[in-house]
Structure 1
């Protein structure tokens, strides 16, 4: 594992560059889990992610001659912004290769920091291969997002802050993509507080590290697909894999539905905007993927907050439907004055708020003189929706839920 002295050196280099982010008590998560839960808010870090720590430490560790050439990185977004920020700080050229599906927010974040953004490949691994070739042909210094000791040491400073703020934590839960964050955190804890349990969380759609960890040898996966783009890493790196086998106690998986639930939960209950990778640790807690004792104290690392606004909007809308706060149905009415008014009056008496109405009288499936009305409602929970269905049926409305 990375020596604690290297992590301490990284802390010194990062002084004045990063924020000492808050390790906040989470009362509702504590109540749900039956333990004490603290969340490390790296989503509020400069550039919106922990990645600045490793990127800056690596670039600061280069010689002046190496830095002068400029730097290049491949990233789904957070490492990109960390490298771009660091390149701007040192006044050097920065080039970032990002997968073509990278959220616009992260692409714009890189450009605003003065770096060149190149979109290439369907996933991180394809972008990575292109960046390596580009580094050779343009004589740039490649900054690896996770498989580099200086990068890992920088990420380990997250744990130094957690220990400083709450030395009594018994279990640390960390998102796992390439493994740099958990390798740095685990190295810090195992050398300073070796009895602390370190648990990693991967996305079910990017399970390479999970399967490799339990098979004790690297397992290949053909593709990745997950809303947690920050941990959407296909291939397992041998360096990080060896560190994880040495110092991590357990790895669990969460699926995209569980991650989306956690994003919405954090938004509503912690008032925090957290991207899929960071929310994965909360998903593991909410969906009971980890066993705890009642006297434990947990530290959850919310690794980043750079979520695409479109994705966040979709998660909110689907979450409102799943939690019975929105419903939509199509009802067939006689196309005459007053028909729509009658439906509207009924819904008003039931306390349902109409947010959208679509009216269709031209569908070939309709009888002449009929119209389909699609209604979107804000509702007050499962019982309220059941009452609406019952009253629609009682009043002889033919409807289909959408």
Structure 2
């Protein structure tokens, strides 16, 4: 069991509610209280790279390193308002050859780990700042967390959400009586709008992944994991802006340096991996990804400073494995998680963490806020990537009964036909033939191969488009 030793300094800091705990002899280890911070930052504004429009808590020239003491303080303060979520052994342990445990933080009230940091940041506000209110920019999870805990703590909340934000997350924010502003084509624009409004209205801007108190709050999940699971070999952390990774890394490495910290990103936005290559946060292009919660174009400066020396390995996963991981979670664990919450399992399924075979690994399931329409697409993509939803083109006789015979052959081995489209105009070689496109659902990959062999033995022209790996095949069988 992990014993949290909270000193008077860590638990009684009413004079620092606007700032963060810090070592006064090391001004860059954490923030000073607000009046010291204002003086500190005023000198930094002289830098050509540091503009007044930027977030005052995230200075690229003087990043702040979050300490273990701040994480234990956060754990003490947020405990009454945060769910201590279960961390249970996975049914997939036998299938993967690892002893896998799932930290189910999607079971928080708003469906995301983001509540931890949001609550801590708002608890540390002075009474004056609470009355003025807070503002955040977010695609959804951070916005929901701020709105929910702002509602509980009676703090006015404004959130700026880009127009691409999921409808479900927008509605949830409105249900907590927040002022929701839909502006900006992406997170970068929404963030600029939020910071501008903070300066104009006197709101406190709360960065969703790089504010030091946010990082400290996210780190509390590691303290719970270490109490719930013994003899851990590795903890796998979904990584976007780096706040969760930084908080977890500090807590774990302080208490047990032997535990490996593994960060996982989508290949569509590998910002932490790019930062490691460049040895500093750099802007990274974003492509559409199933793990939209991790689509942060640049790692936070404070998160990078805190985590860079503590992370043992970064893994970049492909989109198809994220889809398969979401499917596995639904089928085998009865857990509905968003893409960001599934990337840890995706890395294991893709064989990118095979060095932990036979060892105990904890996966953080960070969020479960996925639109039902997106979930449907994810499940279909997962089935396709898994070789259980296949698409083939078969050229059959255009005489009566030709397409009917094809359907009977497919159904004879228990394959379910999901869709059939036939085309005549583009079959130039034979006016008495028709090309039929069929989408089929099979039991598993072996069943798909059985279907492939059956059709190739029966028809001259057969093409399978989407069998996994490099197994897409075609045939011009003349038998």
TM-score normalised by the chain length of structure 1: 0.89
CA drift of 1:50 comes to: 0.2
Q: How far, CA to CA, are the matches of 2:356 and 2:217 in structure 1?
A: 31
Q: Does 1:18 align with 2:18?
A: no
CA drift of 1:135 comes to: 1.5
Q: How far, CA to CA, are the matches of 1:68 and 1:200 in structure 2?
A: 38
Q: How far, CA to CA, are the matches of 2:295 and 2:115 in structure 1?
A: 18
Q: Output aligned runs, 1:190-339, within 5 Å.
A: 190-290=253-353, 292=355, 296-332=359-395, 337-339=400-402
Larger deviation: 283-292 or 161-170?
Answer: 283-292
Structure-2 change in CA distance of 1:253 and 1:400 (3 Å) = closer
Q: Which residue of 2 aligns with 1:349?
A: 412
Q: Is the 8 A contact 1:24 1:39 kept in 2?
A: yes
Secondary structure of the residue aligned to 1:37 is strand
Q: Which residue of 2 aligns with 1:64?
A: 127
CA drift of 1:385 comes to: 3.5
| Aligned-residue CA RMSD (Å) | 2.6
Secondary structure of the residue aligned to 1:195 is coil
- CA displacement, residues 60-109 of structure 1 (integer Å, 9 cap, x when unaligned): 11111101112110112110110010111122322111232222222222
Q: How far, CA to CA, are the matches of 2:455 and 2:285 in structure 1?
A: 49
- The answer to which structure has the higher helix fraction is 1
Larger deviation: 317-326 or 228-237?
Answer: 317-326
- CA displacement, residues 259-287 of structure 1 (integer Å, 9 cap, x when unaligned): 22222222222221111112111122222
Structure-2 change in CA distance of 1:344 and 1:55 (3 Å) = same
Q: Does 1:138 align with 2:201?
A: yes
Q: Is the 8 A contact 1:329 1:401 kept in 2?
A: yes
Structure-2 change in CA distance of 1:333 and 1:217 (3 Å) = closer
Q: Is the 8 A contact 1:206 1:234 kept in 2?
A: yes
TM-score normalised by the chain length of structure 2: 0.76
Q: Does 1:95 align with 2:158?
A: yes
Q: How far, CA to CA, are the matches of 1:221 and 1:394 in structure 2?
A: 49
CA drift of 1:42 comes to: 0.9
Larger deviation: 140-149 or 333-342?
Answer: 333-342
Q: Which residue of 1 aligns with 2:13?
A: none
Q: Is the 8 A contact 2:326 2:382 kept in 1?
A: no
Q: Is the 8 A contact 1:125 1:235 kept in 2?
A: no
Q: Is the 8 A contact 2:396 2:403 kept in 1?
A: yes
Q: Is the 8 A contact 1:124 1:232 kept in 2?
A: no
Q: How far, CA to CA, are the matches of 1:376 and 1:6 in structure 2?
A: 54
- CA displacement, residues 277-330 of structure 1 (integer Å, 9 cap, x when unaligned): 121111222223236355632221111111232222122112223333233334
Larger deviation: 16-25 or 340-349?
Answer: 340-349
Q: How far, CA to CA, are the matches of 2:299 and 2:183 in structure 1?
A: 20
Q: Does 1:181 align with 2:244?
A: yes
CA drift of 1:396 comes to: 4.4
Secondary structure of the residue aligned to 1:284 is helix
Q: How far, CA to CA, are the matches of 1:219 and 1:345 in structure 2?
A: 56
Report the count of equivalent residues: 400
